[in-house]
Amino acid sequence: MAGNPVAERDAMARARELAARGPRGVNPQVGAVLLSPDGRVLGEGWHRGAGTPHAEVDALSRLRPEEARGATAIVTLEPCNHTGRTGPCAEALLAAGVARVVYASADPGEASSGGAARLTSGGVDVDRLDEAEGEALIADWLFVQRTGRPRVTVKWAQSLDGRAAAADGTSRWITGPEARAHVHRERSAHDAIAVGTGTVLADDPLLTARVDGEPDAPQPIPVVFGTREIPAGAAIRQHPRGYRTAGHELERELFGLAAAGLQTLYVEGGPTLASAFLRAGLADRLTIYLAPTLLGGPRTVLDDIGVGTIDEQRRLTVTRLEQLGRDLLVEATTGKEH
């Protein structure tokens, strides 16, 4: 059955807007728009979190039964084909009498995929549209499905000679205000922020995201790696989202964070934690702030990362270079992207 290309493309763009209203977590953000055969919008829906109706069912709930028959469903993710906390969306669409389904990203789940095939076998016309945009919308969720862990960004600030602090341990401030403002935007863009207990004891950070002009900026949940006790008066105890603790087995802890619905982790600890993630091969991206200053001394930004000879060096792919005030931002990938 031929669709209405203009109406369907507009509806898919709208479905992505709706999807973004949903929370990030264990489930993907999904939006849906139902169109009449002549291209009119009949209803809209999005997924509001685990245990709530999926986007397609949410949209169907806004229609009278006779309106759904013969309609086209535009969905950002392939309708699911399994029963979890809610029933399969593919069956709901079939039962409603929807004639055509257009989706963007394929569902990668072993249990939940197969919705497109089920709809086709039920006589529904199925098509794909805006696949790249659909995958970009849920890129972090897709990363978790493929790897079982959050996407990890490791961040540090350094002098041009590779130091994170002066010889006496002082480090405020190596970088300027523009770089520090960028750090806060990066914090807000991640689901969680990681430091070690050493950083908590030495710097007493609050680890909130303070973004100029955005008093309600999303806050990452702090994760403190290590076994030393966090003092009763530590600033992190006042974080609006509380905090989590984690041990030294990084990969196992990352699996636990993913199970809790955290899709991205911003590692902002000192050299010990940054080196541990790199050494374990668990760093996917690096965000480095280079300050035009020299410090000398022993306080290097990294310690042992498992490189014994030059042939073992960790080559990076630089993805972004930007001047931030007097400092230089370098973003790179480690080759561990999935």
Q: Is 199 annotated as a binding residue?
A: yes
Distance CA 197, CA 195 (A): 7
Q: Is 89 annotated as a binding residue?
A: yes
Q: Is 34 annotated as a binding residue?
A: no
Distance CA 182, CA 130 (A): 31
> How far, rounded to the nearest angstrom, does the alpha carbon of residue 284 sit from its chain's CA centroid?
12
Give the count of beta carbons closer than 10 Å to the beta carbon of residue 9: 15
Q: Which H or E run contains 49?
A: none
Q: Is 157 annotated as a binding residue?
A: yes
Distance CA 220, CA 262 (A): 10
Q: Is 308 annotated as a binding residue?
A: no
Q: Is 268 annotated as a binding residue?
A: yes
R_g of the chain, CA atoms, integer Å: 23
**Dihedral angle, C-alpha 323, 324, 327, 330, nearest 10 °:** -60
Q: Is 210 annotated as a binding residue?
A: yes
Q: Is 309 annotated as a binding residue?
A: no
Percent helix, strand, coil in the chain, to 5, is 30, 25, 45
Distance CA 217, CA 117 (A): 40
Give the count of beta carbons closer than 10 Å to the beta carbon of residue 4: 17
Q: Is 203 annotated as a binding residue?
A: yes
* Active-site annotation holds for 133: no
> How far are the Cα atoms of 259, 291, 299, 325 from residue 160, in angstroms, in the given order?
39, 6, 13, 15
Secondary structure (3-state) at 109: coil
Q: Is 71 annotated as a binding residue?
A: no
Q: Is 171 annotated as a binding residue?
A: yes
Q: Token digits for 100?
A: 């055509």
Distance CA 3, CA 1 (A): 6
Distance CA 56, CA 52 (A): 11
Q: Is 273 annotated as a binding residue?
A: yes
How wide is the angle at C-alpha 111 spanned by C-alphas 73 and 253, nearest 5°? Answer: 115
Q: Is 127 annotated as a binding residue?
A: no
Instruction: Choose, from 8, 44, 56, 91, the residue flagged as catalytic.
Output: 56
Parallel, antiparallel, or unpaired: how do β-strands 72-77 and 41-46 relate? unpaired
Numbered residues of the known binding site for Zn(2+)? 54, 80, 89
Numbered residues of the known binding site? 54, 80, 89, 157, 171, 173, 187, 199, 203, 207, 210, 227, 268, 270-276
Numbered residues of the known binding site for NADP(+)? 157, 173, 199, 227, 270-276
Numbered residues of the known binding site for substrate? 171, 187, 203, 207, 210, 268
Residues known to be catalytic: 56
